[in-house]
Amino acid sequence: MTSSAWGLLALFLVLLGLLAWPMGKFLAALCNERVPRWMQRIEAPLYKLAGTKPEQSMHWLRYAFALLAFNAIGAIFVYALQRLQAWLPLNPAGMAAVSPDSAFNTAVSFVSNTNWQGYGGESTMSYLTQMLGLSVQNFFSAATGIAVAFALVRGFARRGDGKGLVGNFWADITRVTLWVLVPISFVLAVVFVGQGVIQNFDGYKEVSTLETTAFQQPKNGADGQPLKDEKGQPVMEDATTRTQTLAMGPVASQEAIKMLGTNGGGFFNANSAHPYENPTALVNLLQMLAIFLIPAALCFTFGHVVGDMRQGWAVLAAMTVMFVVAVMVITPAEQAGNPLLTSLGVDQMHGALQAGGNMEGKEVRFGINASALFSAITTAASCGAVNGMHDSLTPLGGMVPMVLMQLGEVVFGGVGSGLYGMLIFAMLAVFIAGLMIGRTPEYLGKKIEVREMKLISIAILVTPILVLAGTAVAVIADAGKAGIANPGAHGFSEILYALTSAANNNGSAFAGLSANTPFYNGLLALAMWLGRFAMIVPVLAVAGALAAKKRLPVTSGTLPTHGPLFVSLLIGTVLLVGLLNYVPALALGPIVEHLVLWK
């Protein structure tokens, strides 16, 4: 890594720490239900409308049912909005109704905090759909993840009453949305507008370009119908134009919560590589900080709520070490460039007149350092926003985002999901340590027994099963193979990346895969829904079981879970259990592609 790459990484981590500390304290107050009276007065009408009392804590089963029902209703609403958008207002471009399979995939995608997009936003969704459907779910899906993290942390913190009460879902989601996500998103959106991110309701603009642009378009016959060749493909002809259509819309408001909630779905097809979404280096830095802000802050929240800040620091340290290692791999891989171009005599060295390295698919506004760091951040967290095309990364560089997702999105991870995913691995780590020393495993004074281990196993194995089984189905089915744009190892990587992204609720893609088909829309929607909620339910069950247990006192035989030894054990558990499932698949994709490229 170059000195500038190290400097950018250091600046990012320092700013993140300074911002996450106070945010963690505030989130801890919400988790402990210590809300000032003036906040309670504002919340009261919302609870009355919902018919709930915030002080009434729920059993984990009731909490899970409320969560699933809330998100299912959200999915139905987003689906209906897409299907009806042609007849609804705020549609200046006259967008048609979204196809049933694409609408279903998108509804599941945004409700599950995945934000996988098989469509181009500026050419598919009306302003109303973007705002009332997609942006609203950006808030609610993020709040859902944080609510689950609150429930699990309370399970550790409570002394045990035998009832398994984990909090009130409606109070959690209301407070997180009202006092965290909305205010910070508003401030971010205002800053983004000041930096050049657009925010309007104008119609799309037709503008004159500085020079003539050549392109190809379908050729029509004498009857005005498109001509096709003997294979049924449209016949193309050369054409030129001196105009360009510029999409408009309320972008800044969606951009803010897209990053803060680790959602990732862009208003434009190019996502954060588009200058209307990410126009300056400052906006790029703020977007990266927004992605990690709440996941990092929740580590401090965990320490505050359980009454031992060392526990929060240990989790944060494990996340940070794995993240820094990932950046140390992806950045040099991209800076090394493409050896095939070197063999042709192309100069790929960094210099005064060029960035050097593998600049394919990257914005010259950001270069390799900021693009590689962004790629690591967006896949370490379950965000999926991109400021460059991941499909254009080198094989080794492209494997880094894939591996970060396959670890279970626990290297900071999504808002809420990163913390509860890492705590699941922490309980597995103490179980393994308990087996080695012959003691009943304990974590924060709570025994990890047979029931908890069964639930932990389910939570950990859900996503590998979805990824590997889904990839197998896609590479066998004709409909799956039809979407591959590149043959060989890279084509396999495109499918593996898509299922990895969907099941781990990330949303980024190797864009060479044509995924907006009924086959992939259905397969990926199933992976997204189960990857989200088939993990949340066992996590809530663990939270309920822990909340019912009494907290045991620390003894001389208790395993310390806050020092370097435990951090190392936790990292080893994540790497061994989270990654080992995928080694054969990685060998068939990015690893063999890397070996062929550098042979």
Which are the contacts of 37, defined by CB distance < 8 A and separation ≥ 6? Answer: none
Is 198 exposed, middle or buried (CB count within 10 Å of its CB: 0-12, 13-18, 19+)? buried
Residue 429 CA to residue 409 CA, distance in Å, equals 17
- Distance of alpha carbon 126 from alpha carbon 138, whole angstroms: 17
pLDDT of res. 543: 95
Predicted TM-score (pTM) of this structure: 0.93
Distance of alpha carbon 117 from alpha carbon 345, whole angstroms: 38
Given a contact cutoff of 8 angstroms between Cβ atoms, the answer to whether 400 and 376 are in contact is: yes
**Residues in the chain, total:** 599
The span from the CA of 31 to the CA of 388, in Å, is 36
Q: To 5 degrees, how large is the angle CA 284–CA 285–CA 291?
A: 90
**What pLDDT does residue 231 have?**
65
Q: Which residue has the tokens 């808030």?
A: 139
pLDDT at 555: 76
User: Residue 250 forms beta bridges with which residues?
Assistant: 199
User: What is the identity of the amino acid at 37?
Assistant: R
Helix (H, G, I), strand (E, B) or coil at 355: coil
What is the structure's pLDDT at 525? 96
Structure tokens at 503: 């099941």
CB of 254 closer than 8 Å to CB of 130: yes
Instruction: Please report, in tens digits, the pLDDT of each residue of the chain (599 residues total).
Output: 888 899 999 999 999 999 999 999 999 999 998 888 999 999 999 999 888 899 899 999 999 999 999 999 999 999 999 999 999 999 999 999 999 999 999 999 999 999 999 999 999 999 999 999 999 999 999 999 999 999 999 999 988 777 889 999 999 999 999 999 999 999 999 999 999 999 999 999 999 888 887 878 888 877 777 787 776 678 888 888 888 889 999 999 999 999 999 999 999 999 999 999 999 999 999 999 999 999 999 999 999 999 999 999 999 999 999 999 999 999 999 998 888 877 777 777 776 666 778 888 898 889 899 999 999 999 999 899 999 999 999 999 999 999 999 999 999 999 999 999 999 999 999 999 888 877 778 898 889 989 999 999 999 999 999 999 999 999 999 999 998 888 889 999 999 999 999 999 999 999 888 899 999 999 999 999 999 999 999 999 999 999 999 888 877 777 888 889 999 999 999 999 888 889 999 999 999 998 888 77
Q: 504: Cβ–Cβ under 8 A, 6 or more apart, which residues?
A: 382, 405, 406, 408, 409, 463, 467, 531
Q: What is the DSSP letter of 556?
A: T
Pairing of strands 205-218, 165-167: unpaired
Residue with tokens 């400021």: 387
Q: How many CB atoms lie within 10 A of CB 361?
A: 16
Q: What is the 3-state secondary structure (H, E, C) of 367-391?
A: HHHHHHHHHHHHHHCCCCCCCECHH
Our separate counts of H helices and E strands in the chain read 24, 6
pLDDT score for 324: 96
Which runs of consecutive H residues, i.e. helices, occur in 158-280?
169-176, 182-195, 251-260
- Asked if residue 105 lies in contact with residue 509, where contact means CB atoms within 8 angstroms, the answer is no
Q: Cα–Cα distance between 378 and 457 in angstroms, integer? A: 26
Output the six-digit token pair for 496.
Answer: 């593996």
- For residue 287, give the DSSP letter: H
Partner residues linked to 214 by β-bridges:
240
Q: What is Dmax (Cα atoms) for the chain?
A: 89
Closest CA to 318 of 429, 399, 396: 429
d(CA 91, CA 201): 9
Crossing angle for the helix pair 488-503 and 395-406, nearest 10 degrees?
30
Question: What span, in angstroms and rounded, lies between the C-alpha atoms of 47 and 361?
Answer: 48
Q: In this structure, what token pair is assigned to residue 328?
A: 């140390």
For residue 21, what are the CA distances in angstroms to 15, 304, 313?
A: 10, 11, 11
What's residue 358's pLDDT?
A: 87
